[in-house]
Amino acid sequence: MQQNKKVQNAWCLYDWANSAYLLVITSTLFPIYFNGVTRGAFQSETVRFFGIEIINSVLYSYAVATAFLIVAFISPWLSGMADYGGKKKLFLRLFTYLGSASTAGLFWFHGENVEYGIICSVLAGVGYSGSLVFYNSYLPEITTEDNYDKLSAKGYAYGYVGSVLLLLVSFVLIQYHQTLGLNAETAAVRLSFVLVGLWWFGFAQYSFYYLPDNKDRQKKNESLFLKGVLELKTVFHSLRELKMMKAYLFAFFFYSAGVQTVMHLAAIFGEKELRLEASKLIITVTIIQLVAIAGAYLFAAISKHYNNGISILSMLIIWIGVCGYAYTLQTEFQFYGLAVVVGLVMGGIQSMSRSTFSKLIPQNSIDNTSYFSFYDVVEKLSIVAGTFSFGLIEQLTGSMRNSTIALMLFFIVGVGLLLYSRIHKVNQTSYA
C-alpha cells in the first residue's frame, strides 16, 4: 500500500474537527449548562419533559443513550451501502453537517424549552457518532497494518489538542464575558456552542477534500439499500469464522460501556456530587485531555513492545480502580488527581481499541466500513447500556456514586471476556 501523508493528515484532522463536540459539548459545557439552566427554569432538579416529571441529570443520561441507540440502529444499513455504493465520504459529510448544525442550534436553548434542548443534543449526538462509523473505516485503507497503532494514536492526539484549544477559548469567553460585551455567563456558554458547530464544520472541509471517494466501488442500476443489507449479512456470517474478533467484540462491549459513560457523564458527576463550579470542571477536563495525549502514545508503545491485548488489559485494571475510587472521593483535589489517571487510560483505551479491531479485520478485505459498522454498533450499544444504567441507578437510589459501582462491574466483565479471547497471547502478526 502506497501511503499518502496528506491523506493521513486529513484523516487525523477530522479528529481535530469533531473532537471539539465530544469535549466542549458532551463532556464539559453542555451537561453543566443543562443542569444549571433547567434547575433555574423549574426551580428544582426535577423538570417536565413532554409532560413527564424527571430528574434533569437522569434525563440527560437517557438523551445520550437515545442518540447512540439511533445510530446503532441505522449505521449498519448506511455503512453497507457506503461500502458497496462508494458513498463513504458522502455519508461522512451528511452526519457531519447534521451534527455541526444541531450543535450550533443549542444556542437557542434557555432551560424552559427543555424539549428543544434535548432534541438538538440528540441530533448532535447522532451526527457525531454516525460520522465515526465512516471515519474509523478509513484507517485500514490509508496505512499499513504495522502503522495502525501509530496513526490511530496520532488521530486521537490531534483530537485532544484541537478540542482543548477550543475549550480554552470557551473558558476565556465565560470568564471574561462582561469584558467582551456579553451580559450573562450563559450567553458566553451559548456562544461556545455556535463556535463548536463552526469549528467542526470548517475543519472537516480539509478532510473531505483529501480523503478518497471510493467511487471505484460504485455500482449502477442496483439497489444500494438491498446490497448494503446483503453485504452486512456476509460480514455477519464471517464472524463465525473470526472467533477472536467475535470474542473481542463481546469484551469491548462491556469495557466500552464503562469508558464511554465516564467520558459523557463525568462533568455532571463533578457538578452534582462535588458541587464544582464550571470553571473548575473545565480545568479538570483540560487536564484529562492533555494527559490523554501522552496516554495514547504510552500504550501504543506498550502494545509495540508486548501486544495490543496486554496493553488493553493493563488499562482495564486501572479503570476498575478508577471506579472504586470515584465512589469514595469527597474533595475537588481528589477529583483532580483522579482526572490525571482517567486521562492517561482514556487516551490509551480509545486508540488501542480502534487499532486492535483494525488488525482483526481479514487482510485484503474490501468491506472495511461494514466491519467497522459492527465495531461502531457494539460501541454505540455499550454507550446505551452504560449511560442508561448510570441514569437508572441514580433514579432508583438517588445517588450517582452508586452508579460508579455498576461501571466497575462493566470493566470487570470486560477483563474476563478479554482474557477468554486470549488476544493477549497472540503475536502481533497473527491477529487476522
pLDDT digits (tens, 9 = 90+) for 167-176: 889 888 988 8
Alpha-carbon distance of 174 to 187, in angstroms, equals: 8
Mean pLDDT on 210-235: 65
Res 379: pLDDT: 84
pLDDT digits (tens, 9 = 90+) for 394-405: 888 888 888 888
pLDDT digits (tens, 9 = 90+) for 333-375: 888 888 888 888 887 887 788 778 888 877 666 566 677 767 7
pLDDT digits (tens, 9 = 90+) for 154-203: 887 888 788 889 988 988 898 888 888 888 888 999 999 999 999 999 99
Res 429: pLDDT: 47
- Report which of residues 83 and 104 the model is more confident about: 104
Torsion of CA 50, 55, 60, 65, to 10 degrees: -90
Domain chopping of the chain, boundaries: 5-430
The grid coordinates listed for 170 are 470557551
Q: Which of 306, 277, 28, 314 is CA-nearest to residue 168?
A: 28
Q: Say whether pLDDT at 70 is over 50.
A: yes
Instruction: Tell me which of 1.20.1250.20, 1.10.10.60, 3.40.50.300, 3.40.190.10 is the CATH number of domain 5-430.
Output: 1.20.1250.20
pLDDT digits (tens, 9 = 90+) for 100-151: 999 999 999 999 999 999 999 999 999 998 898 788 778 878 887 778 777 8
Mean pLDDT on 200-227: 75
Residue 294, amino acid: A
- Report which of residues 209 and 2 the model is more confident about: 209
The helix (run of H) or strand (run of E) holding residue 125 is helix 114-136
**CA distances from residue 242 to 29, 138, 212 in whole angstroms, order as listed:** 41, 21, 28
Question: What is the torsional sign of CA 181, 184, 187, 189?
Answer: positive
Residue 403, amino acid: S
Alpha-carbon distance of 333 to 339, in angstroms, equals: 10
Percent of the chain scoring above 70 in pLDDT = 89
